[in-house]
Structure formats: C-alpha cells, structure tokens
Amino acid sequence: MKFSCLQENLSQGLNTCTHLAGTSRTSLPILNNILLTAQKGFLKISATNLEIAIETKVRAKIEKEGKITIPAQLFNNYIDLLPNEALNFETIKEEISIKSKKQSAKIKGISSDEFPIIPLVETKEKFLIEGIILKNALEKTIFSISSSEVRAELSGALFSFNKPEVNKLTIVGTDSYRLTEKEVSIKNTPSKTIKNLIIPVKTLQEVLRIIKDEGDVDICLSENQVLFVYKETELTSRVINGEYPDYKQTIPQAIRTKALVKKEEFLRTVKAASFFTKLGINDINLKFLAKENQLIISSLNSQIGENKAILPAEIAGENNEIVFNYRYLIDGLTNLSGDEVGLEIVNDDTPGLIKSTTDKHYLYLIMPIKNN
C-alpha cells in the first residue's frame, strides 16, 4: 500500500473514527486498531467496537492499493502534531511508514485479516432527513434515555417512522422518570407503513458527533441493524431487540392547570431552589395560584434551611401543587426553545408536562415526587 494525502484531511477523518477504537467490552487487541484501506482514489478509515462501526473516506492519491490496521490513538495523536502539508505513506509487511517534509516515523500494525468484518446493511427501506434537523432532535431527546442496561429497551431511543403520519419521524427517550418526544419531518419515505425500532443511545451519540453542518442523512433499516450515512461517513449499528413501552398512556390528557412562565427566570429560580433540596431526593415544590397568576417555587432541607420564590405566570384552570426532581426540571428547561415555557398539571400524583411555546412538536414529561 502506498498513498499520499493532506494532513488536514487525514486528521479530520481520523477524528471521526479513532475514538471508537478501544471502547469494546472485549479484550481483543485488534479493536484498539483502525483499518486503513487505500483504493480507487481515496483512503477509507474504519473503526469498530463490535456494536458500532464507523467508516469515513479521505481524498488521497493512491499509488498502490492495500490494507493495514494500526493503533488508533498513536496514529491519530501523531498525525495531529504534523504540519498541514502532504504526507506520504507506505506499508512494508505489517508496518506503515509516514513521511512529511521534515519528519518520518514507522508504526507497527496488525494484519487486516484480523480486523472484524463490518456487516453490510442490506436494506429495502431508506429514509432521508436533513442533518441539522436530526441533530437538533437528538439533542432534545437522548439526554433522558436510561444509562442502565437492566431494561435494554430503555437504553435506546424509539424511532417511529411514518408516525404520527407519513413522512414524519417521532423520536422518544425515557428512563421511566422523565420522557422526551420530538417529531420531525422526513424528506422521503420508501413506504407508508409505520416502522419502529430502538436505537442504542451510544449509537445516537456517535450520530451527533458525525453531523457537523449542512447536509442530509440517509437512515437505512434492516431487521437487526441501522445504517446512518452522512456525506463521506457511514455508521452501522445493531438495534435493540425488545418492545418499547406504550408511553402514550403516560401522557396526561385531563389537564387541570396550565401555566405560562418566562423560561430563563424560571430556570434561575429552580437552580437557586436546588441548594435547599433534600440530599438524594432533589425535591422542589411548585404551587400554582390561578387567581393571583403566581407560581410559587419552594424547597426545604431541615439540615440547611429553606427557600421560596414567587414568579409571575399566566395560569389557567384551578390551583394546584406538585413536587419535581429539580435535576429533571433543569434538563427539560435547558432543552426547550423560546423565551417562555408551558407547564401542564393534573395533580400531584400524575406526570407533569413541559412544552415549548415555539415548538409544538416537542414535549417533556416528568414524573412527580409523591408526598409521604
């Protein structure tokens, strides 16, 4: 194998892939390596942890095609330190030489035959979505996904294609204490049937990494895998087998109290109240006074002290009261767009809703902390 390419282009490609190497739960040494493949006018860089695989292409002048695997972090760190100029590479047996104008190095590798085969996603279904729209939707949903794998179906996001209607995608994340739902538009759909799958949160975090700016994302589906294609980068992942909870039944319908409040003021007040919550419970109390158009936020810790704040709010319905975990409340408020947020409450025993006033296709649900 013999090729040359610009340091800047190679560095960008390596930064897309190399962090995935070495993250496998197995101790296979080959998984600490990336696979370099020189062919047909470009250099392909591949990395996998057996659950996720990322491949990206870098423009290169190929003099001799070939393959080799080399230690990901060593190669990436070294290339990052080289000047932005043309670099020349050549492999001799299981070693790659690197030459710039003033520097040279040799790195020992492992035969490409030992690198895991990255499966091809044979799909009959390909959905096209604008990259920035997908990135925004993921940022607003995946923070609520469970970090525990005790319930595997909650360690990923539900993707429902053609729901609630054709050419729509609904993304849902939950850890059973709070839930996010975001609906976005799809540019095309291969069929009108609803297609559901659960994608691991770690995969979606990688999708966020590869979407940099403008450009569309192809989402290709097969029975057990999903493929995301963005420009020169392809990300392949397994999907989670299991049945996602029927979350719709947890969204309250018979709302008794609605409030409209300034988001930034509400967020600052919640953060201030958090200093006085009970350790491990993180409880703050929200009291809705409809006649006075006031939202009272309070917290009490007998070991520290107490806090109370009164915020102006547009309140419709009846007086009400509910207790939330302040961490979940802050997460929701931080991810809502607009200057105002809507709060919808049934009672202190039913989940509360937080909605954006500028995005009717996004909602955040929080389970209340029940009073003893």
Q: What digits encode the pLDDT tens for the residues 20-74?
A: 998 887 778 999 999 999 998 899 999 999 999 999 999 999 999 999 999 999 9
What's residue 147's pLDDT?
A: 85
pLDDT band at 244 (very low <50, low <70, confident <90, very high): very high
Q: Tell me the pLDDT tens digit for each residue of 150-168.
A: 889 999 999 999 999 999 9
pLDDT band at 371 (very low <50, low <70, confident <90, very high): low
The total number of residues written for the chain in this structure: 372
pTM greater than 0.75 (yes/no): yes
Is residue 190 within 8 Å of 125, Cβ to Cβ? yes
Is residue 51 within 8 Å of 200, Cβ to Cβ? yes
Give me the mean pLDDT over the 107-130 stretch. Answer: 89
Residue 276: pLDDT over 80: yes
Environment class of 130 (CB within 10 Å of its CB; exposed 0-12, middle 13-18, buried 19+):
middle
Is residue 122 within 8 Å of 192, Cβ to Cβ? no
Q: Tell me the pLDDT tens digit for each residue of 158-194.
A: 999 999 999 999 999 999 999 999 999 999 888 888 9
Q: How far apart are CA 83 and CA 117, in angstroms?
A: 33
Residue 290: pLDDT over 80: yes
Residue 124: pLDDT over 90: no
192: alpha, beta or left? (left if phi > 0; alpha if psi -120 to 50): alpha
Residue 244's CB is within 10 A of a number of other CB atoms, namely 18
pLDDT band at 200 (very low <50, low <70, confident <90, very high): very high
Q: How far apart are CA 74 and CA 121, in angstroms?
A: 30
What's residue 254's pLDDT?
A: 93
DSSP-assigned letter for residue 291: T
DSSP-assigned letter for residue 77: H
pLDDT band at 370 (very low <50, low <70, confident <90, very high): confident
Is residue 160 within 8 Å of 172, Cβ to Cβ? yes
Q: What is the mean pLDDT of the chain?
A: 94
What's residue 24's pLDDT?
A: 82
For the chain, which residues make up each domain, given as ranges? 2-114, 125-247, 252-366
Give me the mean pLDDT over the 228-252 stretch. Answer: 94
Residue 53's alpha-carbon distances to 46, 109, 169, 230, 265, in angstroms, are 7, 20, 24, 14, 43
Residue 252: pLDDT over 60: yes
Is the Cα dihedral 147, 152, 154, 155 positive or negative?
positive
DSSP-assigned letter for residue 252: -
What's residue 39's pLDDT?
A: 92
Place of tokens 């993180």: 282
Residue 224's CB is within 10 A of a number of other CB atoms, namely 12
Percent share of the chain, pLDDT over 70 = 99
DSSP-assigned letter for residue 240: B
User: Looking at domain 252-366, which of 3.10.150.10, 3.40.50.970, 3.30.70.580, 3.40.50.1370 is its CATH number?
Assistant: 3.10.150.10
Is residue 183 within 8 Å of 210, Cβ to Cβ? no
Residue scoring higher pLDDT (313 or 93): 313
Residue 115's CB is within 10 A of a number of other CB atoms, namely 20
Q: Fold for domain 125-247?
A: DNA Polymerase III; Chain A, domain 2 (3.10.150)
Give me the mean pLDDT over the 83-109 stretch. Answer: 95
Q: Tell me the pLDDT tens digit for each residue of 332-369.
A: 999 999 999 999 999 999 999 999 999 999 999 999 99
Architecture of the domain defined by 2-114: Roll (3.10)
pLDDT band at 318 (very low <50, low <70, confident <90, very high): very high
Give me the mean pLDDT over the 310-319 stretch. Answer: 97
What's residue 123's pLDDT?
A: 73
Q: At what angle do helices 7-17 and 72-80 cross, to 10 degrees?
A: 140
Residue 372: pLDDT over 80: no
Is residue 257 within 8 Å of 290, Cβ to Cβ? yes
Which two structure tokens, joined as six digits, stand for 55?
């491949």
In this chain, the answer to whether the domains covering 125-247 and 252-366 adopt an identical fold is: yes
Give me the mean pLDDT over the 311-326 stretch. Answer: 97
Residue 137: pLDDT over 70: yes
